[in-house]
Amino acid sequence: MNLSRLRQVLFIVGDIVSLLLGFLLVFSLRKRTPFFPPLQEFSFYFSFIWLYIASFSGFFLAFRLYDGRRPQLSLSYLLDYVKALLSWGVIIIGFAFVAQADYSRVLLLYSLVPGVIFPFVLRLFIVWLLPQKVEHSDDEEISRKAYKLIDLNKLSLDELDQLEGLSSERTDSLAYVILKRLLDVGVSLVGLALLALLFPLIAIFIKRDSSGPILISQERVGLNNRRFIFYKFRTMKKDTPLYAVAPRNGNDDRVTKSGRLLRKYSLDELPQLWNVLRGDMSIVGPRPEMPFLIAQYNDWQKKRLTVKPGITGLWQILGRKDLPLSDNLEYDFYYINHRSFLLDIVIILKTVPVIILGRGAY
């Protein structure tokens, strides 16, 4: 059996097992919850489990998510992944409200949670266990497309605007604005709750390694050139200038030992969740720049300031600091022109394996 076929089998069998285990977990928790009416025996839900698994597998087959030859966790794969999950969720929610009254709607709706989380975690494990070697991924295709759209050495401003569509103002729909803000608030609240548990450990880690403050604050430039205070954990020695250029490789001697670990897994960025909750930043968007760098921008480069800056974005998931600065701008412009709620979700999902692997972070 070749690796492509093995991945396909693992995806299918793994999804079935994880869905069953997830449903059993939710059933067990619901059975022990005193706030709702008594629950039927597990055998009563056998007929629903077939719908639960069959509809999930059917949508994943339809969107080619069991194709072992597709670039694993690429943008196009994750885009189809989210579409399949949304379609499946609609089926389960619809069934919950039209099925016979004996079915527990609470149980059916709660069962969506492990159905979303467990298969994704499983895929991360399979990707780590059986990495796929592809010469050109969908992500690289986006890189090449962005590079063709913006050649900093050859294109004039007018040509750039025409190619990238930046000369015309784009207005986000009200639905996108509301959904994006709800996503920002939800993710930042959950993240800050987790940070409250991690903060003492990170603080001790930083202070034991080097003298200086635990947190640093800088002035950054955000949407429509508005300045705000930006927070992060200190990762460099205390005598490093506050607005020094960020490290470009893993051998920068300004970075402390604790800082290398924090930067590798992006833990130093966690305080920016407060910026997201305040509305200065978004979870997804171009990185906020320092004022002295914005002052050097040309007019076309200032187009980056037409959207809220973010904690993660296309640059972070496709190359991070392994890419030169000019390529970072290309990814930012690509996001600005193609931004959508679905793309934001996909970028967040793809950020998870990038952080776990610590790729391109210095």
Sequence-separated (6 or more) residues with CB below 8 Å from residue 210: 237, 238, 256, 257, 258
Lowest mean pLDDT, pick from 20-34, 47-61, 292-306: 292-306
pLDDT attached to residue 243? 81
* pLDDT band per the 50, 70, 90 thresholds, residue 318: confident
Any long-range contacts for 1-6 (C-beta under 8 Å, 24+ apart)?
Answer: 3/68, 3/130, 3/132, 4/68, 4/69, 5/68, 6/68, 6/130
- The pLDDT score that the predictor gives to residue 161 is 52
With bands split at pLDDT 50, 70 and 90, how would you rate the model's confidence at 147? low
* Tokens of residue 157, six digits: 């401003």
Q: Please, which pLDDT band fits residue 137 given cuts at 50, 70 and 90?
A: low
pLDDT recorded at residue 141: 62
Radius of gyration, CA atoms only, the chain: 23
CA pair distance 291, 221, nearest whole angstrom: 6
- Helix ranges restricted to H, 210-311: 257-264, 272-278, 291-294
Separation CA 205–CA 7 (nearest Å): 39
Comparing CA positions, the residue from 336, 356, 360 lying closest to residue 166 is: 336
Q: Where is mean pLDDT largest: 31-35, 129-133, 187-191, 317-321?
A: 187-191
Q: How confident is the model at residue 323 (pLDDT cuts 50, 70, 90)?
A: low
Given a cut of 60, is residue 164 above it in pLDDT? no
- What contacts 24+ positions apart, CB below 8 Å, involve 20-29? 20/49, 20/53, 21/114, 21/118, 22/111, 22/113, 22/114, 22/115, 22/117, 22/118, 23/49, 23/52, 23/111, 23/114, 23/115, 25/114, 26/107, 26/110, 26/111, 26/113, 26/114, 27/107, 29/110
d(CA 161, CA 296): 19
Q: What does the pLDDT read at residue 151?
A: 55
- Helix, strand, or coil (residue 241): coil
58-113, pLDDT tens digit by residue? Answer: 999 999 999 887 887 888 889 999 999 999 999 999 998 888 667 888 899 999 99
- Which runs of E-coded beta strand occur in 171-253? 215-221, 227-233
Among 9-23, 147-161, 240-254, 309-323, where is mean pLDDT lowest?
Answer: 147-161
CB atoms within 10 A of CB 169: 6
Residue 3 clears pLDDT 90, i.e. is over it:
no
What are the angstrom distances between the C-alpha of 119 and each of 53, 64, 110, 179, 283?
12, 15, 16, 24, 23
Predicted local confidence at residue 233, as pLDDT = 95
Q: pLDDT per residue over 208-266, tens digit each?
A: 988 889 999 999 999 999 999 999 999 998 888 888 877 777 678 899 999 999 988 88
The mean pLDDT of the chain is 85
> Looking at residue 356, what is its pLDDT?
80
Of the listed ranges 13-27, 282-296, 307-321, the least confidently predicted one is: 307-321
Confidence (pLDDT) at 361: 59
Residues pairing with 230 in the sheet: 218
Task: Identify the pLDDT of residue 189.
Answer: 96
| Residue 152 neighbours by CB under 8 Å, 6+ apart | 326, 329
The number of beta carbons lying within 10 Å of the beta carbon of residue 242 is 10
Q: Which two tokens stand for residue 48?
A: 């629903």
Pairwise CA distance, residues 282 & 312, whole Å: 9
**Global model pTM greater than 0.75:** yes
Q: Give percent of the chain above pLDDT 70.
A: 84
